[in-house]
A = this chain, B = another copy of it.
């Protein structure tokens, strides 16, 4: 996959005015910023996403002539500062949890150490990229868990918040265990399996519903999923069964039918019966329309015989929690640990590490936030150096590898944290060393 940088103007103006302020005073000392998520009432755990984009963007960061001309046109910046930007590259260090890692509130998931101007300017991009992709991966993980092994397909593209949103949702959901996406561009860019067959409009272009099915089956003898609710779902199921039987006689095979409205639990049972009586017990029932982790969980609790779900809008915008309270805070500057005391927004100073402890028989037990150079016995440090002197130190792993990492990670997380509507706080402590620094 080729990466197209969005460029350093993807930033808040204040990053650049601050940079001009630092530049005017020759402040070029090293700063460390810590990126973390504050508590979210609707989530017991989060899943990291976005690191690949972060590394590729930072590695390619430079101001173009057009960028500089625009900045000059604002009248805010002097020639000397603009010349500095022209030559500037990102030369810092990034330590981060790999994508697909489970994390909790207040844990740093990424730390940047770089000359203050470089570290400052990338703030907005980092927050946007890591925040959004982690938001969706976290939501998707809940859906996957609720589906208890049934495949999920990302159907969200039409209602995601913009183009990039649609692409990143496809990637983030696949990372968290979705089986496929309807998003063709994401299929091309990320190699994610694509899925989809027909909408209501296809059925409507034929004078008779059955003719639409017959016609579609001729074009896709092995890959047809008939949408059966355009007029009446039960009648649609009967027609689909008739066409499915005919297909079998011709050596073809109906893959499934899809329900897209009405009482999913009741309808899926009726449709299953119709299909089974027609000898089509291998024809799967897909369901879509308004699914998220809550609705999936509800219909499955009622034993609805649904084999796969199309999960769209509510997942694609993380409707119950449409943003993470993600922040990027200065924790160390010019060899001095710093912190902020604004009410409700106090931060932990110092370069940090997150240490994860497991139970002897497997399963996560607790995390400790400590100092970057600490070593805590029996714990695994989660932040790794992924960029050094502005260069990526390891090629980013493939999406499949990230997906496998997440799956393993998730199997280690206690079931009590996976419950959808119960707030359960995973134990995250602070090391003695880190505590000492705060008190100074």
A residues adjacent to B (C-beta < 8 A): 6-7, 9-18, 20-22, 24-25, 27, 31, 33, 66-67, 70-71, 74, 76, 116, 120, 123-124, 127-129, 131-132, 135, 155, 157-168, 182-185, 187-188, 194-202, 204-205, 215-216, 218-220, 223, 229-232, 260-262, 313-314, 316-319, 322-324, 326, 329-330, 333-334, 338-345
When the two chains form the complex, which single residue of B116, B120, B159 contacts A323, counting CB atoms closer than 8 Å?
B159
- Complex Cα–Cα for A163 and B322 (A): 15
- Minimum C-beta distance from A92 to chain B (A): 15
Given contacts A14-B196, A135-B161, A231-B342, list 10 more A-B pairs with CB under 8 A: A12-B182, A70-B188, A128-B159, A129-B163, A162-B167, A201-B330, A204-B330, A204-B338, A262-B343, A318-B322
Which of these, B10, B184, B319, contacts A166 with CB under 8 Å?
B10
CB distance from A406 to the nearest CB of B (A): 20
**How far is B132's CA from A195's CA once the two chains are assembled, in angstroms?**
24
A286 to B: closest C-beta gap in Å: 12
- Asked if residues B70 and A317 are in contact (CB atoms below 8 Å), the reply is no
Could you tell me if A70 and B158 are in contact, using CB atoms closer than 8 angstroms? no
Question: In angstroms, how far is the closest chain B Cβ from the Cβ of A14?
Answer: 4
Asked if A343 meets B261 with Cβ closer than 8 Å, knowing A162-B132, A319-B323, the reply is yes
Contact A124 B319 (CB under 8 A): no
Out of B11, B18, B314, name the residue touching A201 (CB < 8 Å): B18
CA distance A17 to B16 in the complex (A): 48
Q: In the complex, are the beta carbons of B198 and A18 less than 8 A apart?
A: yes
Chosen A-B contacts, 27 in total, with CB atoms closer than 8 Å, are A12-B184, A13-B183, A13-B184, A13-B197, A14-B198, A17-B198, A20-B219, A20-B220, A24-B218, A27-B205, A31-B201, A70-B188, A124-B157, A128-B158, A128-B159, A131-B158, A132-B162, A135-B161, A160-B161, A161-B161, A161-B162, A161-B322, A162-B162, A201-B329, A205-B333, A231-B342, A313-B323
Alpha-carbon separation in the docked complex, A135 to B260 (Å): 24
B128:A162 contact, CB within 8 angstroms: yes
Min CB distance A329 to B, Å, is 7
Q: Are B132 and A14 in contact (CB-based, < 8 A)? A: no
Task: Give Cα A167–Cα B9 distance, bound, in whole angstroms.
Answer: 11
A201 contacts across to B, CB distance below 8 A: 18, 31, 33, 120, 329-330
Judging by beta carbons under 8 Å apart, are B215 and A21 in contact?
yes
Contacts of A127 in B (CB 8 A): 158-159
Tell me if B223 and A10 are in contact (CB < 8 A).
Answer: no
* B-chain residues with CB within 8 Å of residue A319 when the two chains form the complex: 322-323
Cross-chain contact of A158 among B24, B123, B166, B195 (Cβ < 8 A): B123
A37 to chain B minimum Cβ distance, whole angstroms, is: 11
Q: How far is the CA of A183 from the CA of B157 in the complex (A)?
A: 25
Of all chain B residues, the one with the shortest Cβ separation from A22 is B205
Which B-chain residue is minimally distant from A168 (CB atoms)? B162
Q: Tell me how far the C-beta of A125 lies from the nearest C-beta in chain B, rounded to whole angstroms.
A: 8
Tell me whether A161 and B165 are in contact (CB under 8 A).
yes
Residue from the list B67, B196, B342 in contact with A17, Cβ < 8 A? B196
